[in-house]
Amino acid sequence: MVLDLTSLVSGKVNSLDFEYDLDTDSEESPLIPPDDVSFAPPVHVKGTVVNTAGYITLSFTAELKYSTHCARCLKDISGKFILTFNRTVANSGTLQDEDNDAYVIMKNGKLDIDRELVEELLLEFPSKLLCEEECAGLCPKCGKNLNFGPCDCPKKKEIDPRLAILQKLLEND
């Protein structure tokens, strides 16, 4: 969504509210989920742009439903991710460093909300999700889900093969 901020910049209004749904299902969608994650459409976005004596701020929240697998035990999980976004809006050409993440750049009185939303979602969305905080994961030998109890693998502690030569030194003493 591209917002026209000319009425806000000219002082005709002090704030602009917006609310829309970003479709994540279409091929034209700018939001590409990370590997093994799927986003359920739509992403609901609600926010406001406020002009306080020439100091313009953009604030919005976005709700995103997702489904993926637990990073430890591979159980299917789903949930809702809520993103809160607050930035200062600057006019294009007024900053020395327009790549500064503290600002959102307005060009010709227009502000691309989707671009900011997608960038921030991809930065803030967790890279690893767990089914529960105390998830024990899978046994590295047999693959049993350790959340349902211990496996029957022998409990012999294996030595890293790169350090096996040091074990031989200890045995010679």
Per-residue pLDDT for the chain (173 aa), expressed as one digit of tens each?
888 888 888 888 999 999 999 877 655 566 777 778 888 888 899 999 999 887 889 999 999 999 999 999 999 999 999 999 999 888 776 666 666 677 888 888 898 888 888 889 888 999 899 999 999 999 988 899 999 999 888 876 777 888 888 877 877 65
pLDDT, position 136: 93
165 three-state secondary structure: helix
57 within a domain of the structure (yes/no) = yes
- Same domain? For 144 and 112 the reply is no
For the chain, how far is it from start to end, CA to CA, in angstroms? 72
What pLDDT does 27 receive? Answer: 59
Contact 55, 76 (CB under 8 A): no
User: Can you state the percent helix, strand and coil of the chain, rounding each to 5?
Assistant: 15, 40, 45
Contact 66/78 with Cβ under 8 angstroms? yes
Residue 144 structural domain: 136-173
Q: Residue 47: which of 95, 100, 87 has the closest Cα? A: 87
* 11 shares its domain with 81: yes
Give me the pLDDT at residue 167, please: 79
Q: Which tokens in the block code for residue 114?
A: 């989707």
**Number of domains the chain is built from:** 2
In this structure, are 95 and 143 located in the same domain?
no
Both 100 and 161 in one domain: the answer is no
User: Furthest-apart CA pair in the chain: how many Å?
Assistant: 86
Residues 86, 46, single domain; the answer is yes
**pLDDT reported for residue 132:** 94
Q: What pLDDT, on a 0 to 100 scale, did the predictor assign at position 144?
A: 92
Q: What is the pLDDT of residue 140?
A: 86
Q: Residue 141, Cα to own-chain centre: how many angstroms?
A: 32
Token pair 């007024």 in the structure block, residue: 94
Residue 129 included in any domain: no
Amino acid in the structure at residue 1:
M
- Residue 76: both structure tokens together: 């299917």
**165 and 112 within one domain:** no
Question: What is the model's pLDDT at position 96?
Answer: 61
Residue 148 CA to residue 162 CA, distance in Å, equals 33
Q: What is the pLDDT of residue 28?
A: 59
